[in-house]
Structure 1
Amino acid sequence: MVGDRDQRSPGIMPRAFNAVFDILQEYATKFDFKVSVYMLELYNDRLQDLFVSGAEAQSRRVEIKRNRKGLVFAQGAETKEASSAGELFAMFQQACANRHNAATKMNVESSRSHLIIGIMVESRNLTNGSVSFGKLSLVDLAGSERAAKTGAKDDQLKEANSINKSLSALGDVISALSSDLPHIPYRNSKLTQIMQDSLGGNAKTLMVVNVSPSDCNLDETLTSLIYATRVKTITNIAQRNLESKEISQLKEVIMKLKSGQPVEDEEV
């Protein structure tokens, strides 16, 4: 997902940052864009804001909320604006430095949490004033672990149990979506809650699975491939989140009134 340290072979996340701004640059004469981002980790079933560190990160309460259009957002988490792929990647590096990592018998540097990045893009049509909203969620899932192989004990064992429990809940959601069941158990885990708008409804979902070529990891490889096969069967109909120029203007007026700013007659 990240790539190598010197970025000679960048991973999916830095490539996605470049792709987003390449597309925005292509349409810069027709639209006005605003890009904002939050970066979180789900560590021991607790969402932590990766834009802050130390005591502030521990004390900050991040809650999962949904707006009227079903878009998931992290209330309490810091959201930053980015004007270029380089600026976004610098934010990403800052966030990764605050992430929980540890060494195990399986990995020299093992992530002990799930990484969740939400990139929100707002575009205003310069011709008719209509506004569209889009969101790209990039989720780096920690791998499921077997204590017998990783040698996890104490805190690491607690981390592994939390990771496995959330991945199991994600598997249940994927299974329910792929089977078109009437009830989708999103609320069984914070991971599935934060990923709800990335899996069901107005979304397209892509899962990339890392598998081991080693015979000793055959069971994990088969489990991962079965997991990904279920994701492939999820079929949603993605639609544009679009609002008219008039609705957009009314929202701006409401925001000004709430903040105590003066409103001109022509704005109403």
Structure 2
Amino acid sequence: MRKKYYNMVEEMKGKIRVFCRIRPVNRSEAAQGGVVVVDKLDDHSVMVDTPRGPREFQFDKVFSAESSQEDLFQDTNRLIQLVIDGYNVCIFAYGQTGSGKTFTMVGDKDQKNPGIMPRAFNAIFDVMQENSSRFTFKVSAYMLELYNDRLQDLLISQAGEAHAQTQPHSPARRVEIKRNRKGVVFAQGAETKEASSAQELFALFQQACNSRHISATKMNVESSRSHLIIGIMVQSKNLTNGSVSTGKLSLVDLAGSERAAKTGAKDHQLKEANSINKSLSALGDVISALSAELPHVPYRNSKLTQVMQDSLGGNAKTLMIVNVSPSECNLDETLTSLIYATRVKAITNNAQRNVESKEIAQLKEVIMRLKSGQTVEEVDV
């Protein structure tokens, strides 16, 4: 009970919540002996057997290898309501290559066990349906990958992009990370598409996943070679008082940190791994600076940290899910991930609702109509 109420107080203070998920032993680890050195003690504690003795880590919630996708989402689902209410929310998965991040966030290939992302799509539209008598809603999304330190738009087909680049005087589409006056990060130049149902949003998501860079390594049959970044904007208008709120849900499946000797990465895979490790190192520097409350936080050192600037030390309600292997052969990487996650727990965000009054919302609508060349009557203002 003490831990439960402590966690509630920390969340109210703006602390980033951190979940830990221990995946089952896989075939490769079982073939090597499969000695389990990571164990869930209780709902908030993880014990790791190290050569120097047992080491305990505390988190907001711990999920064992037996936990299902549904179990994990039940503790994540309430963040969706905050997006509808006008808050910025970020959920991201962290861990070494092969620790189960993409399974946690995306799910399996045939979607028999969907992850947080597809479940979140359904939850958004379920909440909107429940509130449809009092609010009107508009949902839009962008989907990007950060590959070899370059942001790529996953909602533009590769064929379409290649065709655009062959046209004379047609500049290559460039996606850049910007922040608005409220500190909210957005992707300038990225294709943003509206969705009127969970099915439409999932179709966009499938398109994005099909365009993402993956390849096989010794650690993972389908290793993510890029960071997947999904931004879902939900605008809601209160039919009673006319106020408009805009929430953003950021869903991030980070590529895993890896050592070339373990993954067998060569040639272009080695270049990919170096880029991934460099961006994750920059993320670690940001986490260290924030947890130590240093005056300067090096967000600009990487596109990844720029993307996550409103999620770490920013204005978002943030949940980090650290994924770890239970096996002795991955002990070093597991300890590194758990230490990083412990630092993240110390970071405080200043989450605020993005709400505009009826008058401001009307003025913005008038300005948009004027920009598009439409006539505006005085009664509209």
TM-score (norm: length of structure 2): 0.68
Greater length-normalized contact order (CA 8 Å, ≥ 6 residues apart): 2
- Structure 1 residue 238, shift from structure 2 partner: 1.6
In the alignment, is residue 239 of structure 1 matched against residue 336 of structure 2? no
Matched with 2:132 is 28
In the alignment, is residue 60 of structure 1 matched against residue 173 of structure 2? yes
Residues 173 and 185, structure 1, Cα contact 8 Å, conserved in 2? yes
Residues 50 and 98, structure 1, Cα contact 8 Å, conserved in 2? yes
Matched with 1:118 is 231
Once the two structures are superposed, residues 139-183 of structure 1 have per-residue CA deviations (whole angstroms, 9 ceiling, x without a partner) of: 000000100011111111110000000001111111222222221
Structure 2 alignment gaps of length 5 or more:
1-104, 163-171
Matched with 1:39 is 143
- Structure 1 residue 56, shift from structure 2 partner: 4.3
The amino acid of 1:113's aligned partner reads S
Q: Could you tell me how far apart the structure 2 residues matched to 1:178 and 1:8 are?
A: 38
Which of 194, 197, 200 lines up with 1:81 in the alignment? 194
- Structure 1 residue 54, shift from structure 2 partner: 2.0
Moved more, 45-54 or 21-30: 21-30
1:180 aligned counterpart, secondary structure: coil
Matched with 2:67 is none
Q: After TM superposition, list the pairs within 5 Å mapping 1:75-154 onto structure 2.
A: 75-154=188-267
Residues 205 and 231, structure 1, Cα contact 8 Å, conserved in 2? no
In the alignment, is residue 157 of structure 1 matched against residue 270 of structure 2? yes
Matched with 1:188 is 301
Q: Could you tell me how far apart the structure 1 residues matched to 2:306 and 2:108 are?
A: 30
Residues 50 and 57, structure 1, Cα contact 8 Å, conserved in 2? no
Matched with 1:168 is 281
The amino acid of 1:99's aligned partner reads R
Matched with 2:338 is 225
In the alignment, is residue 11 of structure 1 matched against residue 115 of structure 2? yes
Q: Could you tell me how far apart the structure 1 residues matched to 2:240 and 2:295 are?
A: 42
Q: Could you tell me how far apart the structure 2 residues matched to 1:94 and 1:237 are?
A: 34
2:144 aligned counterpart, secondary structure: strand
Q: Could you tell me how far apart the structure 1 residues matched to 2:313 and 2:131 are?
A: 28
Q: Could you tell me how far apart the structure 2 residues matched to 1:26 and 1:177 are?
A: 38
Once the two structures are superposed, residues 81-111 of structure 1 have per-residue CA deviations (whole angstroms, 9 ceiling, x without a partner) of: 1112221111101100000111111111111
The amino acid of 1:128's aligned partner reads N
Matched with 2:78 is none
Q: Which has the higher strand share?
A: 2
Q: Could you tell me how far apart the structure 1 residues matched to 2:138 and 2:344 are?
A: 31
The amino acid of 1:234's aligned partner reads I
% of aligned pairs identical? 83
- Structure 1 residue 124, shift from structure 2 partner: 0.6
The amino acid of 2:129's aligned partner reads Q
Moved more, 60-69 or 155-164: 60-69
- Structure 1 residue 28, shift from structure 2 partner: 1.2
In the alignment, is residue 205 of structure 1 matched against residue 318 of structure 2? yes
The amino acid of 1:147's aligned partner reads A
In the alignment, is residue 265 of structure 1 matched against residue 378 of structure 2? yes
Q: Could you tell me how far apart the structure 1 residues matched to 2:179 and 2:159 are?
A: 27
- Structure 1 residue 44, shift from structure 2 partner: 0.2
Residues 313 and 350, structure 2, Cα contact 8 Å, conserved in 1? no
Q: Could you tell me how far apart the structure 2 residues matched to 1:254 and 1:163 are?
A: 42
- Structure 1 residue 205, shift from structure 2 partner: 1.4
- Structure 1 residue 262, shift from structure 2 partner: 0.6
Residues 51 and 78, structure 1, Cα contact 8 Å, conserved in 2? yes
Q: Over aligned residues, Cα RMSD in angstroms? A: 1.2
TM-score (norm: length of structure 1): 0.96
The amino acid of 1:144's aligned partner reads S
Larger Rg, first or second structure (1 or 2): 2
Structure 1 alignment gaps of length 5 or more:
none
Matched with 1:178 is 291
Residue-pair matches, total? 268
- Structure 1 residue 118, shift from structure 2 partner: 0.4
Q: Could you tell me how far apart the structure 1 residues matched to 2:266 and 2:123 are?
A: 41
- Structure 1 residue 5, shift from structure 2 partner: 2.2
1:204 aligned counterpart, secondary structure: strand
Moved more, 137-146 or 180-189: 180-189
